[in-house]
Amino acid sequence: MKKKLWLLAPVAFALTAASTGAQHWTNDQLIEAGKALPAKMAKVKVGTESVANWGNHSMTLAHREGDGLAELHETENDVIFIRGGEGGFVMGGKIPDGKPSAANEVRGSKIEGGEKFALHPGDVIHVPVKTPHQFLVEPGHKIDYVAIKVHQ
């Protein structure tokens, strides 16, 4: 997907980005890239596309049409920017049935004792390392977001 976004960028910017490592995505580019995400949805009703990886941090576009699993990252902080749609989010508490799902990742079906809040376009969430969190999306609704993972 990164290559497709580069093709959409102005040539002058692409030359600057190549020499400095800086990158820029317009809102229109993110909207266009996001159009392919519903077709990528898996059983957990989320479609994602890795956009960039800069070593100690990375960026992913996501489209969700259902609840996510409860998750906890042992070595990553998340910064999540809500781009569209609506949903809920639970953060904190415990994952009672949590099990390792990948290196430095724990996932489960729900969070107990966390704080729940509504999400709207323009909202930003910071999820510190080792903090349980979960997206909640009512049937018939959707939410689009950009997630930045910052590795410790």
- In the 8-state DSSP scheme, what is residue 94? B
Neighbouring C-beta atoms of residue 135, cutoff 10 Å: 24
- pLDDT bracket for residue 149 (50, 70, 90): very high
The count of other CB atoms within 10 Å of the CB of residue 137 is 21
Task: Mark residue 85 as left, alpha or beta (left: phi above 0; alpha: psi -120 to 50; beta: remaining).
Answer: left
- Which pLDDT tens digit goes with each residue over 101-114? 999 999 999 999 99
Q: Which CATH superfamily is domain 41-151 in?
A: Jelly Rolls (2.60.120.10)
Q: How far apart are CA 39 and CA 84, in angstroms?
A: 17
pTM higher than 0.75:
yes
- Provide the edge-to-edge strand list for the sheet that holds 143-151: 46-53, 57-64, 143-151, 76-85, 124-127
The predicted-structure confidence for 70-96, as pLDDT tens digits, reads as follows: 999 999 999 999 999 999 999 999 999
Which of 8-22, 28-42, 52-66 is most confident? 52-66
Domain ranges of the chain: 1-35, 41-151
